[in-house]
Structure 1
Amino acid sequence: MAFEGWRQPVAIAMWDFSWLERRWPGAGYHDWGRALDELVERGYDAVRIDAFPHLVAADPARTWTLLPIWNQHDWGSPLPVQVQVQPALNEFIALCAARGVKVALSSWFREDTTDARRLIASGAGLGRVWTATLRSIEAAGLLDHILYVDLCNEWPDSDWAPYLYDPAVENPARLSRADPTVMGWTDEALAEVRTAYPIIPLCFSVSAELWSWSEQDVSGFDFLEPHVWMAHNQKTGFYAELGYDMTASMFDPAQYELLAREAPALYARDRDRWRAVLSGAVENVADWSRVAGRPLITTECWAIVNWKDGPGLDWAWIKELCEFGVGAALATGRWIGLATSNFCGPQFRGMWEDVAWHQRLTSQIRNTPTPPGGTS
C-alpha cells in the first residue's frame, strides 16, 4: 500500500501554477532557489505544483501563451503569460531534490491560446498526458523525488477539468463524482498511469461533495486529498452571511473590498461557531478516511479560500483559524500530509514573512507520529 511505513506527516505547501507563471520580479518565484530556501527555512518538506501535463504531452519545449483564469487573486498571472514547461519542470524538481523537498504533481489544466487541454478526449487520454509527463521527469533521473500525482485539481470542477464538459455550454452544471461518465474517466485515468508507474501514489483531489462521500467510490485512490475550509463547505454559512460571490470574485475587485470590510469582524463575533464549523468539516473527511481505509493529504485549507495582501486584509484571523485547523486535523491521526493554509507561498508576503508561525506549525506537523495502522 502506498505510504506504508510513514512515521510522521509531511508539511506541504501549494505552489500550484504560480511556480511557473509568477516569474516577474516581485511576484514571488523569480528566483526559485531563494523561494525554496525560504520554504525549507519555514519547515516545509514537500510542495505541490502544476506539472502542466497537457502541454508537456503536446510539446514540452514549445512556448505557450496562458490566459488568466482570474485577475484578482494572487495565484498565477493576472495577464496573459508565456511559459515553456520543459526543461523548467525538471529544473525546478532538481532544485527541490537538492534541498530534500519532495514534489507532488497536480494540474489545474490551465487554458492556453490553442486550448490544448481540449485534446484530452477520454479518461485513458487523461492518463496518457500524465505518463508522458512522468516519462520526461524519469528521463532526467528525477522520478524518485515525486511524492504523488493528483491527476486533476478539485475533480471534476469545470474550471479545472473542462474536457469533461460541452464547450458550447457556458457555466455548465457541475458533474458529480458519482456520475457514471465521471467514474469511467476516473477509473481509466488511474489505470493508465498505474500500469506505467505502479509505485507512484495516485489520487484526484476534491473540494466539493465532501459530505456525500458514502456515495463515491474511491477504491482506486491510494489516498484522499480533500480541500477543507471553514468558509467553503456545505455546512457553513460564512459566505452567505457576508454576501460574498466566489464566481464574481475572480474579476470583481469589490469582492475583496467586501472581505476586507466584513470577514474578520464576522469571524471575531463568533469564533466558537466558526471553529466548530471547521472542526466538523475536519471530522467529516477523517470519517471518510477511516471508512475508505485511505490516508489523507490536504494542501488547500483551513480558513477561507481567497485572501491576499492589501488594505484592510489582515492575516491575523486567517493564521489563528489555520492553526486551529492544523491541530484539529492532526488530532484525528488520519493525515499523512498537511498544509498550513493555501497561502503558504512567497507571493503572500503578509503570511510568508511570519517565519516563526510557519516553523511552529510545520514542527507540529512533522513531529506528530502517525499511529500504527492509523491511516489504513
Structure 2
Amino acid sequence: MHPSGVPQHLPPRLTITLWDFTWYTQTTPGEPFADLDAAFEQAVERGYNTVRICAMPFLLFGDHGIDTTALRFTGLGGDVGVRTRWYDVAGGAVLDGRAHLAELFRAARRHGCYVILSSWEYQQSPAFLEGSEWYDALLAVPPDDRHTVMADAMGELVQWLKDEDLADNIAYAELHNEVDLSRLTLAGGGSQQDPYRLQRPYVEVAVARMRERHPDVLATSCYGIPPHLDMAAVPGNGQVAHFHVYVYGVLGALERWAGVRATSGFPSPELRSLLRDDAPDVASYEGRVEPWRLSATGVSTSMFFSYDWVDTTRWDTWLYENYVRWHEAMTQALDDRLEVLARFAERTAAPLVIGEGWIGYTPLLAEFEDGPVGRTLAEHAMTRCIEHGAWGAVVGSNSAPHHPGWANVEWQQRWNRRLLLGDTRA
C-alpha cells in the first residue's frame, strides 16, 4: 500500500542507498562505479530499489558556459583523503556529464530501480573537478539567488530527462542536499540569529518553482540537522518530508576529546595517542590541497589529517570503551527525532523519508558504525521508521558501494526486506 501522496507508479517503499557524488567521482577501473550496471546489480542483491545522487543540476544545466562533455575528475592532491570517507578518489575519470547521467537512468531502468535527484554542489562536488570553474561559477551566484537558481537548474534537468524518455524512474527531486548545512545558508545576509526561519522563505519559493515547473514530479527540500524544537521553521510545501538523522553521541565525544576539528593546538596529545605509527608530521600536511579545493570540500586540514592517519583500531576501541555512557542518550535521540519528523510528515501530508543517518562521519576504515553496536542502533532506528510508516529510509549512510560496510550483504538484505514488508518485530 502506497503512503498518502505517493504516485502509484513509484514503489510503496523506498529502500535507499546513498551514491551521492561518488557515482561520478569514482569511475576509473577498480573504483566502485566503474561499471554502473554492476553497481546496480549489487544494490538489488542487497535489497535496494532506490539510489540517491548528486545529479549535478547546476553544472549540467546552469547558465555558466562550462563545457560538460569532457569533465575531468581528480583526487584532492597527493595522499590527502586516501583514508577519508567519500574523499578516497583515485582521479583520472573523464566523463560527458549528461551522457553519464543518462546512462545511470538507463541502468536504473534495467535493474528496476529509482533515483532521488539531489545536488551536493554547494557542499563538496566541485572539489573533485580538475579546475575551479564549477566552484567559481557557484560562488558567483548572489547568495539571495542561489535557491531559485538551483530550483531552475533542477527543473531543466528533469525536463531533459523527460525529453530523453528517462523520467519515469525519478523517485523525487530535492532542491539541494542539506540546505541548512550548505552555502545556500548565506541567503539573507548570513544572519545566524535564526538561520532556519531566515532561510525558510527562500526554500519555500524554490520548492514552489520546482512544483510549478513539473507538477508530475515530487519536489522537496532536504535538512541535514532538522530544527526538532522548531519545525515551523521548515517549509510545509515539500511533497516529501525528507530529513537526515545523525546522533553523534559517543562519536562527538571522541572528536571533542581528541580535537579532530580543532582550529588551534593541533594535533592534541589525545589525538596523537590515536595516530598510526607511520603518521607524518602535521606540518608536512599543510598546503597539499589547493586553497579553493579545500574550501570546496567543507573539510578542514585537521579533519583530513585525523581521518587519514588515525589507527582505526584505536579509534574504534575508544568508542567501544565509552559507548555505555552514551547508549541511552543516542537511543532516546533517535526516538525523539524520528517521532517529531513523523508528526511533521503527517501534518504536512507528505510521506516521510530519512535520506541519511545514523551515527556520523568517521574515517573510511573505522568499523564502529558497521560493527555490532552501530548496527544495533541502526536496527533501532529502522524499526522506528517502519513503525512511523516511513515511505523510505537508509539502513545507514555507509551502506553504499564506496564504503566497506557494503560487504555486509545479509544484514542489508534483512533490513531492507523488513522495511519493504513493514515488519516491526523485535
Correspondence 1:182-221 to 2 at 5 A: 182-221=199-238
Bigger drift between 128-137 and 13-22 goes to 128-137
For the residues of structure 2 that align with 1:290 and 1:133, how far apart are their CA atoms? 30
Bigger drift between 111-120 and 291-300 goes to 111-120
Post-superposition shift, 1:304? 2.6
Post-superposition shift, 1:209? 4.0
Post-superposition shift, 1:358? 0.6
For the residues of structure 2 that align with 1:67 and 1:197, how far apart are their CA atoms? 34
C-alpha contact (below 8 Å) 2:197/2:234 kept by paired residues:
yes
Correspondence 1:305-324 to 2 at 5 A: 305-310=361-366, 315-324=371-380
For the residues of structure 2 that align with 1:325 and 1:281, how far apart are their CA atoms? 10
| Number of equivalenced pairs | 357
For the residues of structure 2 that align with 1:41 and 1:92, how far apart are their CA atoms? 18
Match of 1:157 in 2: 181
Q: Out of 28, 33, 36, which is 1:29 matched to? A: 33
Post-superposition shift, 1:303? 2.5
Correspondence 1:264-279 to 2 at 5 A: 264-268=320-324, 271-279=327-335
Q: 1:25 to 1:68 in 2, by over 3 A?
A: closer
Q: 1:265 to 1:78 in 2, by over 3 A?
A: farther
For the residues of structure 2 that align with 1:311 and 1:368, how far apart are their CA atoms? 28
Post-superposition shift, 1:223? 1.6
For the residues of structure 2 that align with 1:199 and 1:313, how far apart are their CA atoms? 38
Does residue 240 of the first structure (1) align with residue 253 of the second (2)?
yes
For the residues of structure 2 that align with 1:21 and 1:7, how far apart are their CA atoms? 28
Post-superposition shift, 1:276? 2.3
For the residues of structure 1 that align with 2:204 and 2:364, how far apart are their CA atoms? 37
Post-superposition shift, 1:60? 6.7
Identical pairs, percent: 19
Post-superposition shift, 1:317? 2.3
- Richer in helix (by share): 2
For the residues of structure 2 that align with 1:8 and 1:312, how far apart are their CA atoms? 32
Q: Out of 8, 19, 22, which is 2:23 matched to? A: 19
Q: Out of 92, 101, 104, which is 1:92 matched to? A: 104
Q: TM-score when scaled to structure 2?
A: 0.74
Q: 1:165 to 1:256 in 2, by over 3 A?
A: farther
Q: 1:259 to 1:291 in 2, by over 3 A?
A: farther
The aligned amino acid for 1:85 is G
C-alpha contact (below 8 Å) 2:353/2:391 kept by paired residues:
yes
Does residue 223 of the first structure (1) align with residue 278 of the second (2)?
no
Q: TM-score when scaled to structure 1?
A: 0.83
Correspondence 1:238-317 to 2 at 5 A: 238-240=251-253, 242-243=255-256, 245=260, 248=300, 250-253=303-306, 256-257=310-311, 259-268=315-324, 271-310=327-366, 315-317=371-373
Q: 1:273 to 1:157 in 2, by over 3 A?
A: closer
C-alpha contact (below 8 Å) 2:118/2:175 kept by paired residues:
yes
Q: 1:237 to 1:216 in 2, by over 3 A?
A: farther
The aligned amino acid for 2:138 is R
Match of 1:374 in 2: none
Match of 2:196 in 1: 177
Find the residue that maps to 2:228 and give its secondary structure: helix
Match of 2:402 in 1: 347
Q: 1:256 to 1:342 in 2, by over 3 A?
A: farther
Structure 2's unaligned 5+ residue stretches are 262-298
Correspondence 1:327-366 to 2 at 5 A: 327-333=383-389, 335-349=390-404, 351-366=405-420
Find the residue that maps to 1:178 and give its secondary structure: helix
C-alpha contact (below 8 Å) 1:299/1:341 kept by paired residues:
no
Q: 1:201 to 1:66 in 2, by over 3 A?
A: same
Find the residue that maps to 2:242 and give its secondary structure: coil
The structure number with the bigger radius of gyration is 2
Bigger drift between 63-72 and 105-114 goes to 63-72
> CA RMSD for the aligned pairs?
3.2
Correspondence 1:134-153 to 2 at 5 A: 134-153=158-177
C-alpha contact (below 8 Å) 1:230/1:281 kept by paired residues:
no
C-alpha contact (below 8 Å) 1:260/1:313 kept by paired residues:
no
For the residues of structure 2 that align with 1:65 and 1:198, how far apart are their CA atoms? 35
